[in-house]
Structure 1
Amino acid sequence: METSAQVGRGERRRKGSLTIFAGYFSGTGKTYRMLEAAGRAVRAGEDVAVGLLSCSQWPQTQILADGFETLPLKAFSEAGKTVYELDVDACLKRGPRLLLIDELSHENAGGSRHRKRCQDIEELLQAGIDIYTTLDVQHIESIQDTVSEILGAPAEERIPDRVFDQAARVEFVDCEPEDLRERLIRQDRTDLLSEYSQPKLSALRELALRRCADRTALDTQKSRGGERYRTREHVLVCLSAAPSNERVIRTAARMADAFRCGFTALFVETKNFQSIPQPDRNRLRANLRLAQQLGASVETVYGDDVAYQIAEFSRLSGVTKIVLGRGETSNRILFWKPSLTERLVELTPELDIHIIPDTGTARRFASHYKKELYAPAVPLLDLLKSTLLLVLSTLVGLIFYYLGLSEANIITVYILGVMLTSIFTKSAVCSFLNSVVGVLAFNFFFTEPRFSLHIYASDYMVTFLVMFLASLLTGSLAAKLKSLAKHSAQLAWRTKLLFETNQELQKAGTQDEILSVTARQLLKIFQRDIVTYRSDQGQLDAPKIFPVDDAFSESKYSAASEHQAAQWVLTNNKRAGAGTETFSDACCTYLAVRTAEQVYGVIGVAASGEEMDSFEGGLLLSILGECALAMENQKNLEEKEAAAVLAKNEQLRANLLRSISHDLRTPLTSISGNASNLLSNGDMFDAKTKHQMYVDIYDDAMWLINLVENLLSVSRLEGGQMNLHLSTELIGEVVAEALRHINRRSAEHHLHIQSGDEYLLAQMDAHLIVQVIINIVDNAIKYTPPGSDIEISWERQGRFAALSVADNGPGIPDSAKPRVFDMFYSASNRIADSRRSMGLGLALCKSIITAHGGEITVADHAPHGTVFTFTIPIEEVELHE
């Protein structure tokens, strides 16, 4: 009888189901209701265990929990105290059918495998364990803006919406706010109500009921068999580093959930992205992760015209609704460019644009960002370059002035200087300053009165204005072209790397070589240590480390914790390690080399202290995709080759069985029939008939003996188990020995021996060469009519002795010649006896001659017939006087 643990492990292939007992506040009875449901499961024969419960302060719930098996917890030290968390490994080892775990939204202590308990539960679900858990709905990510409005701050512990929406079942445990307050007072838990008034509890209850209703609507749509999302709607949210962008993302997620449509988060990377402060960069990464948690597909495009990039992406991706935040507005002035919202309305009039007002925090961020925008830090080197170019422009202008050239030529020199400044410097401020200073320098050095900023002619003001605008526009265009050239070079470099990786992967012949090629490419790109693991039947092989330099610690990457993180990636088909919420203390970020659900290996990229940007992340995923595709192709090729070998073996087996069943039955029937007649009716036959019957029995027995010897010889030679006993022999003596064993049917043919060298010596295994001659001559007798001539000859050909057996029979068709030495092949010939066509003799001959280092061939014999020729090495004999 199987134990419960064995049953659990036996069903591990299926994914477990998640049941959530949800409420809006502590004390509504979620855990008690969960234990009641678990009790019904136990009475129904289910294997139930408790992973973790937090009910020690609720006496009635604790009494109910004491009746269940409780699994051990794992202790962690945090802030000088010992805390206990769910032991995932203990749960997996026990493998119950149903596991009870409290507080789905809980965040684990530092050092845990996962950062959040919901991730622990997801791993247990993947292992096939059903989970009962509890949740206060206020901890769901997408409704944190509303929670913050009710409570004054968002919930500290949160879960992604997908965990709640993808649960197999959600049971809402409701309780009126008045009844809840009375229950908490009776249980002496008034500490929970210190900051929660009855209106707040009512608001939380309404929010929880609405969120559960949204999930119910989604379940109803699934049950009707319709698609989950309608393709006619597609929500796009714009990502930024603004603090209010969190609210924008959550609003867009709720909108996508309400419309049951696609959801994309877009970030437009401009040339100023590399210079933004590190806190803003970190905030942008946090917003990107939030969008991923809420189910968005994150995309990145490049360009300085943000509105145009958003509009083009929306047009190509089929976006129908754009959601973005509204920054602080300012009074319009003349020639001021329109805002992002106005540009989007102009470029995408057919789309719905939803503007989410920013909070006061966002406006402070915008104000701070404006200050940085208008007062950016200019590198000293760029200032020196721009100053040098301005001085050179002035010197060239002075030369033009003394040469008598017009002022238009001098103005062109200054415009050229501004353009060169835009090309050779990184900051746009340098171009602007050169435009302004260039106008002033032109006024100072080249207009009357010279060496003064005063001007006599009124038309010079127009000249100065045109010069300034031309310089400014020229510099801006040059800067944009430089930025586009940089992005183009980056994309070209990425394309080149992917193409180079694809070519190198195609040259790899094994799975290990494919992983090594991928690791070397990643090492070249990221300049970080790379660790590779190959998957073998659900387990990882030993790691292979590809270091950047020799100064690396192999033990760091070979530690058990690193292998455990990589094994988790293999099992769960998700990334883990540094920079993630699973095994975050690992030294590397581990990613699966996968196609769909098939994982072929795991690759780790050493952490460098900074997260990869979107370009590096996209490049990494592209290379891993190429690697997975190459490994899949290699696996398919190996499976195809193995299937071909198996098919060939099956064909050989079938041919052998068919030949044995047909060819052995006839001689055995003849032997048994003749023997039976001689035993039963021996006195009725005369001496001549008896003699013929004895001859038939002998011939059939000898044929069977030769067949068995051929089978054994072929199997030994093909398996490399037959050792050659070489000796120096006279060809003539070996041929004479073979003729003494030739089938008696040779009496019906004319055998001729012709030798060019009667004393030709050769190095051979005489017994095997005799068998070769017998097989070839028997083949000639078998496939030629009675009275045919068979000629055996030999001669010296260089270092080999060539022996030929020729006949004047009907010959072998050209189509059959390439296959006559194949095992079990027999050419159709009406002269041959069908029972003697097993097709082993010539195959054995080829194996024996090949083992001797010679060669056997078949050719036509003029004017008709066939000649078989084989060669064996000769033995030189030294004569001494």
Structure 2
Amino acid sequence: MAPMTRSESKGSLTIFAGYAPGSGKTYAMLEAAERARQAGAVVVSGLVAANGWPQTQLMADRFETLPCKQIQQGTPASMEIDLDAALHRMPQLILIDDLSHQNPDGCRHKKRYQDIEELLKAGIDVYTTLDIQHIESLQDTVSAIIGHGLPERVPDSVFDAADRVEFADLEPQDLLDRLKSKQPGALSSPLSVTQLNALRELGLRRCADRIALHTRKAQKQAGYRTHEHILVCLSSAPSNAKIIRTAARMAGAFRCGFTALFVETKQFQWGFQADKDRLRSNIRLAEQLGASIETVYGDDIPYQIAEFARLSGVTKIMIGRSGISRRTIFRAPSLTERLIELAPELDIHIIPDNGLNKRTAPAYREPTRLLSVSLCDLVKSVLLLLLATLVGFLFFKLGFTEANIITIYILSVMLISVATKSPVCSFISSAASVLIFNFFFTEPRYSLHAYDSGYLVTFLVMFIAALITGSLATKLKSHAQRAAQVAWRTKLLFETNQSLQKAMDQSEIMAITARQLVRLFQRDIVVYRAENGVLSQPILFCAAEEGCSDTPYTSAKEQAVAQWVMKNNRRAGTGTETFSDSLCVYWSVRIGDRVYGVIGIAAKAKPLDSFENGILLSVLGECALALENQKNAQEKEAAAVLAKNEQLRANLLRSISHDLRTPLTAISGNASNLLSNGKLFDAQTKEQMYTDIYDDAMWLINLVENLLSVSRLEEGRMNLHMSTELMDEVIAEALRHINRKSADYHLIVREPDEYILVQIDVRLIVQVLINIIDNAIKYTPVGSDIRIEWKKQGDFVLVSIADNGPGISDEAKPHIFEMFYSASAKIADSRRSMGLGLALCKSIVNAHGGEISVADQIPHGTIFTFSIPSGEVELHE
């Protein structure tokens, strides 16, 4: 499985910015595009709106125009960029108007700037236009200037990441005059000169901030570091978006990054769904503005914020305040007051929200689970109160005081708080315990009246004590549950890390990750592996034990989303602004720009919360790291093999330099003597010289055959031509081709009592026998015995070749079948042996499914034994 790397040639983005419609952004873009075309660039118009300006329309008509996609969502139909057509055309430069445009349903992305980002990743340069009013962090200021906010917005990161920004500046009065002189039916500005001046100043300042940002990045690369760290507190309040944008602007002013922190309490878990949706929206806004998102857990919000700030090196905290209340003796300190007390060393910036002070009718809210009580909880409460009453009657009969009975009821309320899920049960049980105690154990008994007026104080103290005890028990249970959940997920992360380290291949790594994600989130998981830049077929891991249907998750539409995620190395799917109508949210498994795969998580019905997102990123990070380690290990192994092969090549060249020169020199010398002085030699001398020439030539032929055979076997290119043969004939054939010097040795062939058939490639097995026998002739003294015998053992035939020579040392035995190894020297350079013969024998025998080994013969000598498949004769009647 090979990672996919994004294109190195990313396109450049040029933004032609203005402070209001009509300032000349589009015309400036077209002029720049015309200059680029005259310079030789291929320029096409993706979508350019002239907005009734004749000169702009004439300029736009000069360029090739791509067809637009019509989206029918009203009358008239909306004209949108055909992203696939632009990617297919692949021009050098494309012109696209209105960077902040929001795409209608049916488009790939929700925002036009996301379309442009995909074009940039494909290597296409883009010219586009933008009104400064649409930048996200300026929305509060723009709303204060023009009286309302703008729905179409662009993240600051998109504006800051542009390669070039040209500001189309025009005096506000000139802009108004220009709009008035426009043709009838054209757009006119509803803004005054004062408002336009304010927007112009805002635009120029934002462009200057961008220049300063790029300068700071250059300084940072040169070693500059900042010590500021801003923390903004996240909440589900409607005003939180304003606080986040203010923190982003302050981070830019102080030349530092900022962190967005959310403190999750028990109350939030029981909160309204609308609040949770608003919180997710605020988290997405913080991410778009470049914040690092963190989540902590606890009911004491000021303490959690102060501790996080202290541990993270935060220097400034930004927090909202929704109103000013008069300080009284009985009022508890507010969140901001406690935060100031807990972190006096930090700069705390409080952003008021005047909009919340307006008198508005409260919106209807549906009841939450906080006030709901299940039947199971009611039964538990009744049984525990009944048990407390029975114990109370026992104490009453034994003459115990009323204080002891009250203690039993307080204990029962605490147990109810632990045993039930809803805090309502604790409150109801506190009140019920007081009434039951009054009814059964105070005079007059079996009535709710009390003769002694002091009982009122007793009842009140009893109720408060039971209520406080129950509340504390509920809170303790909540903390214990949360701690158990965090501990379980931490354990699962640890198990994931250990399992990934033990994985043998990349497929197993992806499968382990998917199974752990199923355990963590109890959701269906889809896994794609990236193989040579192409996604593999999806593999579905179901959360339900009975399985699930893979059709919805593996449809062509879902696979297209996964393919886009792999290509663009970005998250997409449900809950995002890209392919938001899909069933899953897809994440790339990546290290930097290397994508190893894509994992999809079913999140259409229930989006992932911030904690789950954090856990998911941790697991995917572990998975990517394991895949990277696996890839590095494979590359290291391949490098080791390559180094070994290079060493073998070097050994081969070194051996050839001597082993080929020796026989060639002998051949050329003998041939030269015969040609020049042949008449001077007698017949016996000539025969010896002819014999030496023949022996040297045959040695060279065998050497070449061995080299070619080893090469073909090692590369898997040699095909075995199997046939059934008689072993006696195979031995006889081998003996006819062995070294002529074999006449000086005693060759002993011991045939078995029965005929034995073998299923072999005759040519190769004959070569094995020749190599082993020749090896015995070379390394044993003249006159030594060489014994050949064979026998059938199971489905194989064992062939042994033994000699009574000096034998092979124990140190050499483990290496005897390695290429270029010789028993007399690690690299054969003194005799005609390159160490190829036995290496070839091992390869041939292994190719037949057999084994070869070497052992000592008693009292001295060597035995080579190898096995080959036995054969049978098929009789056809």
Common fold, TM-score beyond 0.5? yes
RMSD: 3.6
User: Match for 1:78 among 70, 73, 77?
Assistant: 73
For residue 139 of structure 1, report the CA deviation from its aligned partner.
Answer: 0.7
Tell me, which stretches of 5 or more residues in structure 2 are unaligned? 1-5
For residue 193 of structure 1, report the CA deviation from its aligned partner.
Answer: 4.7
Per-residue CA shift, 1:74-96, capped at 9, x if unaligned?
11111243111112222222222
Query: Equivalences for 1:160-199 in 2 at 5 Å?
Result: 160-188=155-183, 192-193=187-188, 195-199=190-194
Moved more, 84-93 or 525-534: 525-534
1:625 paired to 2:605: no
Query: What is the letter of the counterpart of residue 707 of structure 1?
Result: L
Q: Report the CA distance shift for 1:433/1:342 in structure 2 as closer, same or farther (over 3 A).
A: farther
Query: What is the letter of the counterpart of residue 683 of structure 1?
Result: K
Query: What is the letter of the counterpart of residue 691 of structure 1?
Result: E
Structure 2: distance between partners of 1:734 and 1:745: 20
Structure 1: distance between partners of 2:130 and 2:349: 32
Structure 1: distance between partners of 2:685 and 2:153: 103
Which residue does 1:66 correspond to in 2? 61
For residue 634 of structure 1, report the CA deviation from its aligned partner.
Answer: 3.2
Moved more, 480-489 or 699-708: 699-708
Query: What is the letter of the counterpart of residue 675 of structure 1?
Result: A
Which residue does 1:763 correspond to in 2? 757
| Structure 1 residue matching 2:50: 3-state secondary structure | coil
Which residue does 1:345 correspond to in 2? 340
Q: Report the CA distance shift for 1:491/1:363 in structure 2 as closer, same or farther (over 3 A).
A: farther
User: Match for 1:857 among 839, 843, 853?
Assistant: 853
Structure 1: distance between partners of 2:262 and 2:828: 82
For residue 349 of structure 1, report the CA deviation from its aligned partner.
Answer: 1.4
For residue 711 of structure 1, report the CA deviation from its aligned partner.
Answer: 4.2
Query: Equivalences for 1:392-403 in 2 at 5 Å?
Result: 392-403=387-398
Per-residue CA shift, 1:632-679, capped at 9, x if unaligned?
333334434444444444444444444444322321232123223322
Larger relative contact order, structure 1 or 2 (CA cutoff 8 Å, min sep 6): 2
Query: What is the letter of the counterpart of residue 722 of structure 1?
Result: L
Structure 2: distance between partners of 1:851 and 1:190: 86
Which residue does 2:25 correspond to in 1? 30
Structure 2: distance between partners of 1:127 and 1:209: 31
Which residue does 1:282 correspond to in 2? 277
Q: Report the CA distance shift for 1:551/1:500 in structure 2 as closer, same or farther (over 3 A).
A: closer
Structure 2: distance between partners of 1:491 and 1:268: 15
Which residue does 1:790 correspond to in 2? 785
| Structure 1 residue matching 2:660: 3-state secondary structure | helix
Contact 1:801/1:874 (<8 A) preserved? no
Tell me, which stretches of 5 or more residues in structure 1 are unaligned? 1-10
Per-residue CA shift, 1:669-701, capped at 9, x if unaligned?
321232233223323434444333222212212
Moved more, 429-438 or 199-208: 429-438
Q: Report the CA distance shift for 1:659/1:76 in structure 2 as closer, same or farther (over 3 A).
A: same
For residue 413 of structure 1, report the CA deviation from its aligned partner.
Answer: 0.5
1:813 paired to 2:809: yes
Which residue does 2:669 correspond to in 1? 673
Query: What is the letter of the counterpart of residue 339 of structure 2?
Result: L
Which residue does 1:636 correspond to in 2? 632
Which residue does 1:210 correspond to in 2? 205
Query: Equivalences for 1:309-708 in 2 at 5 Å?
Result: 309-331=304-326, 336-361=331-356, 376=371, 382=377, 385-439=380-434, 441-443=436-438, 445-447=440-442, 451=447, 453-454=449-450, 456=452, 466-506=461-501, 508-546=503-541, 556-708=552-704
For residue 25 of structure 1, report the CA deviation from its aligned partner.
Answer: 0.7
Moved more, 230-239 or 518-527: 518-527
Structure 2: distance between partners of 1:145 and 1:597: 36
Q: Report the CA distance shift for 1:363/1:478 in structure 2 as closer, same or farther (over 3 A).
A: farther
For residue 290 of structure 1, report the CA deviation from its aligned partner.
Answer: 1.3
User: Match for 1:266 among 261, 265, 278?
Assistant: 261
Query: What is the letter of the counterpart of residue 420 of structure 2?
Result: T
1:155 paired to 2:150: yes
For residue 593 of structure 1, report the CA deviation from its aligned partner.
Answer: 1.6
Structure 2: distance between partners of 1:348 and 1:441: 48
Structure 2: distance between partners of 1:534 and 1:629: 15
1:234 paired to 2:259: no
Q: What is the count of residue pairs matched by the alignment?
A: 860
User: Match for 1:136 among 106, 111, 131?
Assistant: 131
Which residue does 2:832 correspond to in 1? 836
Per-residue CA shift, 1:155-189, capped at 9, x if unaligned?
12110011111212222222221111111111147
Structure 1: distance between partners of 2:628 and 2:311: 31
| Structure 2 residue matching 1:836: 3-state secondary structure | coil
Structure 1: distance between partners of 2:308 and 2:779: 78
Contact 2:322/2:352 (<8 A) preserved? yes
Q: Report the CA distance shift for 1:125/1:555 in structure 2 as closer, same or farther (over 3 A).
A: same
For residue 55 of structure 1, report the CA deviation from its aligned partner.
Answer: 0.9
Moved more, 183-192 or 296-305: 183-192
1:16 paired to 2:11: yes
| Structure 1 residue matching 2:72: 3-state secondary structure | strand
Query: What is the letter of the counterpart of residue 388 of structure 2?
Result: S
| Structure 2 residue matching 1:266: 3-state secondary structure | strand
For residue 114 of structure 1, report the CA deviation from its aligned partner.
Answer: 1.0
User: Match for 1:722 among 717, 720, 723?
Assistant: 720
The normalised TM-score by structure 1 is: 0.88
Structure 2: distance between partners of 1:98 and 1:734: 74
Contact 2:800/2:863 (<8 A) preserved? no
Which residue does 2:35 correspond to in 1? 40
Query: What is the letter of the counterpart of residue 687 of structure 2?
Result: H
Moved more, 13-22 or 238-247: 13-22
| Structure 2 residue matching 1:216: 3-state secondary structure | helix
For residue 517 of structure 1, report the CA deviation from its aligned partner.
Answer: 3.8
Q: Report the CA distance shift for 1:243/1:369 in structure 2 as closer, same or farther (over 3 A).
A: farther
The normalised TM-score by structure 2 is: 0.89
Query: What is the letter of the counterpart of residue 805 of structure 1?
Result: A
Per-residue CA shift, 1:203-223, capped at 9, x if unaligned?
222222222222222233234
Structure 2: distance between partners of 1:631 and 1:61: 53
Structure 2: distance between partners of 1:87 and 1:62: 20
Q: Report the CA distance shift for 1:850/1:608 in structure 2 as closer, same or farther (over 3 A).
A: closer
For residue 294 of structure 1, report the CA deviation from its aligned partner.
Answer: 1.3
Q: Report the CA distance shift for 1:389/1:775 in structure 2 as closer, same or farther (over 3 A).
A: closer
Structure 1: distance between partners of 2:68 and 2:869: 78
Structure 2: distance between partners of 1:854 and 1:387: 79
Moved more, 505-514 or 548-557: 548-557
Query: What is the letter of the counterpart of residue 484 of structure 2?
Result: A
Q: Report the CA distance shift for 1:20/1:798 in structure 2 as closer, same or farther (over 3 A).
A: closer
Contact 1:244/1:359 (<8 A) preserved? no
Q: Report the CA distance shift for 1:641/1:418 in structure 2 as closer, same or farther (over 3 A).
A: same
Contact 1:666/1:835 (<8 A) preserved? no
Structure 2: distance between partners of 1:155 and 1:50: 27
For residue 728 of structure 1, report the CA deviation from its aligned partner.
Answer: 3.6
Contact 1:846/1:855 (<8 A) preserved? yes
Structure 1: distance between partners of 2:173 and 2:737: 112
Percent identical pairs in the alignment equals 63
Contact 1:328/1:363 (<8 A) preserved? no
Q: Report the CA distance shift for 1:708/1:246 in structure 2 as closer, same or farther (over 3 A).
A: closer
Contact 1:776/1:841 (<8 A) preserved? yes
Q: Report the CA distance shift for 1:492/1:189 in structure 2 as closer, same or farther (over 3 A).
A: farther
Contact 1:378/1:429 (<8 A) preserved? yes
